[in-house]
């Protein structure tokens, strides 16, 4: 009965009234204003994207990344929707009738194509976007076809605006092509192909052997002698001036950018780089690397491949001239009394903002390291260059993640629980539990001196040993053979957890009179940074079960302290009082991957056997662990992290490569050449 009543009610009701969710007034308002709102939103997104794209080069905070991600996606979606709205409005009018208002709307379409080209400061949000450049090319074909259709539909009209649309159409097409070209150039395959030199078949072996056989048949005693190229000249001792750092960084980047796509370098590249870095101070060395990584960011995430060259300058002049021409003609020819004020204001706004964005892009280019390099190369004595303020580079912060803080977190907090519905748990932890600390000059000095000593004193085999040591080499050099098991007998992620907990226990239980010991704070910073990489950036480390071990270890910490309310110091002392004479693995088996009490064994031995030198041992182990992680991270992963402001691990990776401490060098003394010697 109830079903029949409902059916009868539905039949008698007007269908339009049934599905009408919004009032008629609101629907009429939206129909009249939707295009205006979309145009204004698209303009706002272009302005925001210009500055956010520049800002994220040096700042990798989660909220900034979320803002860039949101604006980046909307900046592609909004112009596309606006083009569809304009297409529908132009199509709805009868043939041979093109009102001035519709001509004005058709004039907006090329500006939307211009917006789809994006600003110079960002072409890709992530490194993976570069691999999808073919998809962008297809989008260009579709959006260009829609824009041309809109412009052609307005041609039957008598307004000059129909003709004025073509210069802006050309400008928009150039901007979109620049973006596609930049994406294609930054894709892994194309970037690698651009760096591979032409195939070298070497000396003609068959001709050489033919001559060898002929002379031997004639009765000569023939011998093939191998000629080795002369070694490179010795390095000079002149210090490098600060104003030369950009020049040196650019030249090095042209050589070392192949590391991002896992190519190898020649021994000449290694010797030249070592020669330079042996003369640099610590601050100069890291500044050179920061400039190089800035160049790398521009290559992978901005329009640098398409703009920062002669052809790019010519095209940029064309787009600016066409936009300026359109503005001047519109001001002189427009009949302001024939248009609505809102439409007229939007048209002026589109033209003016397009010119302003071009001007901002020009200023960004002028005050970039690319222009600095060009000016210093061609005008070495220019006084203006010396007066220019130093540019901002990375934020000089290092991320910190502590197992102590994670284990103390309150499970009842509502905000993280809500966030877990929207994003992975490790991303929630990045926002909620991650800390950042200043990257001290003392820490950089310690790392730089460690690598520099190996580069100067070590032979070629020592340079590659550091890439696989993980701390074993340092423990052997310091006669700590009883701790080698924590490096050589366990996986890499397990070593990080073991030494992280051991470092924390030693730090918290340190006697007050020993607080002035060297490397104490620096060791803790490296410890918490490596745990951050293990938990937050596992793709940068060798494959393992680090997250499982981390969670099992936290579970054991909770189990140990669930009925105790202690501060950090007392909790650490209580852990060290646990008898670990029997190895925890024999008691726990292989079911749990916790390493808590194995780490307590390490801390106990460090405090008892190596009390006076424990921080020197701990810091050396962490430097080698850092070096191992840097060497075994793929180049594409290092490139991926550049969009987050750059990881310190990438700086360490480049520093090691410049000092010759890497496995990506060709081990050779020179190009061998054989010649015949007949007697």
Nearest to 54 by CA among 298, 288, 396, 359: 298
Q: What global pTM score does this model have? A: 0.88
Scored b (16 or more CB within 10 A) or e, 393-404 reads: bbeebbbbbbbe
Whole-number pLDDT of residue 16? 47
Whole-number pLDDT of residue 18? 42
Three-state DSSP class for 108? Answer: helix
Low-confidence stretches of the chain (pLDDT < 70) are 1-22, 92-102, 156-159, 219-238, 335-338, 380-395, 406-433, 458-462, 511-517, 563-566, 589, 666-679
Encode 37-93 in three state secondary structure.
HHHHHHHHHHHHHHHHHHHCCCCCCHHHHHHHHHHHHHHHHHHHHHHHHHHHHHHCC
The contacts of residue 452 (CB under 8 Å, 6+ apart) are 277, 278, 659
Scored b (16 or more CB within 10 A) or e, 448-482 reads: bebbbebbeebeeeebbbbbebbbbbbbeeeebee
Whole-number pLDDT of residue 96? 42
Burial of 431 (0-12, 13-18, 19+ CB in 10 A): middle
Whole-number pLDDT of residue 380? 66
**Are the beta carbons of 111 and 171 closer than 8 angstroms?**
no
Whole-number pLDDT of residue 408? 60
The contacts of residue 231 (CB under 8 Å, 6+ apart) are 669, 670
H or E stretch at 104: helix 100-117
Burial of 253 (0-12, 13-18, 19+ CB in 10 A): buried
Whole-number pLDDT of residue 513? 53
Whole-number pLDDT of residue 2? 46
The pLDDT > 90 percentage for the chain reads 39
DSSP annotation of 423? S
H or E stretch at 223: strand 222-227
The contacts of residue 525 (CB under 8 Å, 6+ apart) are 398, 400, 437, 440, 443
**Are the beta carbons of 364 and 125 closer than 8 angstroms?**
no
Q: Residue 284 is encoded by which pair of tokens?
A: 């100069």
Whole-number pLDDT of residue 564? 64
Nearest to 606 by CA among 490, 517, 494: 517
Centre a 10 Å sphere on the Cβ of residue 332 and count the other Cβ atoms it contains: 7
Q: Where does 516-609 have alpha helices with state H? A: 520-536, 546-561, 568-576, 584-588, 596-609
Whole-number pLDDT of residue 88? 85
Whole-number pLDDT of residue 414? 46
pLDDT, tens digit, for every residue of 462-505? 678 888 889 999 999 888 888 999 998 899 999 999 999 999 99
């Amino acid at each position: 009965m109830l079903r029949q009543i409902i059916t009868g009610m539905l039949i008698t009701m007007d269908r339009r009234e049934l599905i009408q969710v919004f009032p008629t007034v609101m629907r009429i308002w939206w129909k009249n204003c939707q295009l205006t709102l979309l145009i204004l939103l698209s303009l706002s997104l272009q302005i925001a994207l210009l500055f956010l794209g520049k800002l994220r080069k040096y700042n990798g905070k989660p909220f900034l990344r979320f803002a860039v991600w949101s604006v980046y996606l909307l900046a592609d979606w909004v112009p596309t929707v606006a083009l569809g709205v304009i297409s529908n409005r132009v199509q709805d009018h009868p043939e041979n009738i093109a009102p001035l208002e519709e001509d004005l709307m058709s004039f907006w379409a090329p500006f939307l194509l211009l917006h789809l080209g994006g600003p110079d400061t960002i072409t890709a949000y992530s490194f993976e976007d570069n691999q999808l450049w073919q998809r962008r090319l297809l989008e260009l074909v579709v959006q260009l076809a829609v824009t041309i259709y809109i412009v052609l539909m307005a041609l039957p009209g008598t307004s000059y605006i129909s003709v004025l649309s073509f210069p802006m159409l050309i400008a928009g097409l150039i901007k979109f092509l620049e973006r596609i070209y930049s994406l294609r150039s930054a894709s892994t395959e194309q970037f690698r192909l651009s760096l591979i030199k032409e195939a070298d078949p070497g000396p003609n072996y068959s001709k050489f052997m033919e001559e060898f056989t002929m002379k031997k048949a004639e009765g000569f005693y023939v011998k093939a002698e191998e000629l080795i190229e002369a070694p490179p000249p010795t390095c000079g001792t002149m210090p490098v001036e600060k104003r030369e750092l950009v020049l040196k960084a650019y030249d090095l980047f042209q050589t070392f950018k192949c590391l991002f796509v896992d190519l190898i370098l020649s021994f000449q590249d290694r010797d030249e780089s070592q020669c330079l870095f042996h003369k640099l101070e610590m601050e100069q060395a890291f500044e050179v690397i920061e400039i190089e990584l800035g160049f790398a960011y521009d290559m992978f995430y901005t329009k640098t491949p398409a703009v920062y060259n002669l052809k790019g300058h010519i095209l940029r002049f064309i787009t600016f001239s066409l936009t300026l021409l359109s503005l001047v003609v519109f001001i002189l020819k427009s009949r302001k009394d024939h248009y609505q004020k809102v439409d007229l204001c939007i048209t002026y706004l589109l033209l003016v903002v397009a010119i302003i964005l071009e001007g901002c892009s020009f200023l960004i280019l002028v005050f970039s390291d690319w222009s600095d390099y060009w000016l210093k190369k061609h005008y070495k004595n220019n006084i203006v260059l010396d007066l220019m303020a130093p540019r901002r580079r990375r934020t000089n912060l290092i991320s910190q993640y502590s197992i102590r803080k994670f284990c103390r977190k309150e499970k009842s907090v509502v905000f993280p629980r809500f966030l877990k519905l929207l994003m992975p748990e490790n991303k929630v932890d990045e926002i909620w539990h991650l800390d950042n600390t200043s990257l001290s000059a003392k820490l950089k000095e310690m790392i730089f001196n460690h690598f520099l000593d190996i580069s100067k004193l070590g032979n070629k085999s020592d340079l590659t040993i550091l890439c696989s040591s993980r701390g074993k080499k340092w423990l052997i050099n310091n006669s700590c053979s009883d701790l080698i098991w924590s490096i050589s007998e366990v996986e890499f992620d397990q070593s990080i957890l073991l030494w992280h907990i051991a470092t924390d226990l030693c730090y918290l239980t340190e006697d007050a009179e020993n607080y002035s010991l060297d490397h104490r704070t620096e060791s803790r910073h490296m410890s918490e940074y490596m745990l951050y990489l293990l938990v937050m950036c596992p793709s940068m480390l060798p494959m393992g079960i680090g997250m499982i071990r981390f969670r099992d270890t936290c579970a054991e910490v909770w189990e140990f302290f669930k009925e105790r309310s202690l501060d950090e110091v007392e909790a650490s002392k209580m852990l060290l009082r646990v008898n670990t004479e029997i190895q925890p693995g024999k008691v726990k088996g292989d079911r749990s991957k916790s390493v808590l009490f194995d780490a307590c064994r390490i801390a106990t031995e460090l405090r008892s056997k190596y009390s006076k030198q424990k921080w020197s041992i701990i810091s050396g182990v962490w430097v080698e662990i850092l070096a191992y992680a840097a060497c075994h991270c793929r180049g594409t992963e290092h490139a991926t992290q550049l969009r987050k402001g750059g990881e310190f691990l990438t700086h360490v990776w480049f520093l090691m490569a410049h000092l010759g401490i890497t496995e990506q060098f060709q081990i050779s003394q020179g190009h061998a050449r054989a010649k015949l010697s007949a007697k």
